[in-house]
Structure 1
Amino acid sequence: MAESAEDRYARWAWIHETAVMTGWNFDPLGSRVVADDPPWDFDLTCAKAMAQSMPCLDMGTGGGERLGELVKHVSTIGGFLNRGSSVFASEGWKPNLELATSALAEYGIEVCEYDSETGEPMPWPDDFFELVMNRHESYDPSELARVVMPDGRFLTQQVDGTEAGEFRRWFGGTPEAPDNRLEPCIDELEAHGFTISDADEWTGTMEFADVEAIIEYLAYVPWDVPGFNVADNLVALDRLAARRSPIEVAQKRFLIVAER
């Protein structure tokens, strides 16, 4: 018997309501989402900088997965594994805070609660870090200028706030952070005393195997379509379900290397 529209809609709603991310991990989507990579290797850039910089901070460390891999990589190139106490991490989401604290304990890395969007100061003194790394996390330029020591560096890879515009054409809404783009971010960092030594931007493609992969993804990344729910978007979802797969959207990234 063919599935009824009501059963299909109920399944879609269940997918969206039950999708929960742990750490910063899209593994539940598996091969149903295939994304291009930027031409630069941000993790390698961070690893090389970490090997030469102490103390350093990983902002928005998620569940600590990436930082743990960076620490292991740095140790293979003669880095600081025996100086783990000089590495710090921050995380603003409490479930991830607990995961990261547990995952990074073996390296002697302290994980502090911090979310730049609260407006609270970073929990470190002035001129404390030689290196701050930030992958897809918000930041406060004035706080960075305070905690990064003179001649220290800030490395960030950001998601352009206008990426995946297809989602908002299909489901409505506006970008949550439309000003999170390369040029405005460069201007803001320079206004706070940073010198930009490298910057780049890139547009690629993200492919979804079907509409259900999109529904699950939007549960993990709700800021792409603020307020999205299945019930209000059945017509658009039905159109996408009838399309030939895969379903493509644009992804956008930019890179900034800044020195104070």
Structure 2
Amino acid sequence: MFISDMPYAKTLRDHLLRTVRFSLEEDIGTGDITAKLIPEDQTASATVITREKGILCGREWFEEVFRQIDPTLELTWAKQDGDTIEPNDTLVTIKGNTRAILTAERCALNFLQTLSGTATLANQYAMAVNGKDIVVLDTRKTLPCLRLAQKYATYVGGCQNHRLGLYDMFLIKENHIAACGGIAQAVSKAQEVAPDKRIEVEVETIEQLKEALEQPVDVIMLDNFDAELTAKAIEMSNQKVKLESSGNMDLNKIDDIINTLPDFVSVGNLTKHVTALDLSLRLG
């Protein structure tokens, strides 16, 4: 899988260039003084291996780090984004200037291991609903400055993207409802502000659900509804509107909810509780 496969590819590409540039500025500062211990013209070959099983993701971020450091470095990949990788698998070989390889190492691995960790976790959730007519969605609970990168990674792992940000879809939550004076008022205002955008409303009770079902909305989010309440909500909606289960969702809670068959399950854990995959670069 590649960035070009995503519907927001151009935005994602711009995001990649900016985040890599900033990460290198943050790391290198006035210069990599440790790399200066090595002769300026020395060359080497290095490999990146994984020490644990997972889903590879982040190749293009990894490549961009090396490209911005030294575009003459040669990278040869053994795996693609979306591939399952096993302990001790070689992922990529890098050849070229030794100083450049070592200067780029940490930033490049940070992107690759974090996005691979995100994709690996997403794959666990995708497998949890495998065979069910349910879509697992990510959220805006992403690592700062890695929003689109992590959303790409959740997609690589087998889940789908919710809204990208505050600009492409309405999500009317409890505080919006309170500030607007009610669900009906908030939905009416949304239609005025951006009539072409999808509208989703969060509800916390069956009474709120009844009110939301009377409004012209695309999705209703069931916040912290248990399996019994979710089943009741599905019966009440009678397929009039899509329903999304949400709220402290983890693999155990999904197990309780999935048999009620909501249309969507949104999971903040996909991007906020990420453990980086254990990767290692070694000069060979």
Q: So what's the TM-score if we normalise by structure 2?
A: 0.30
Higher strand share: 1
Larger Rg: 2
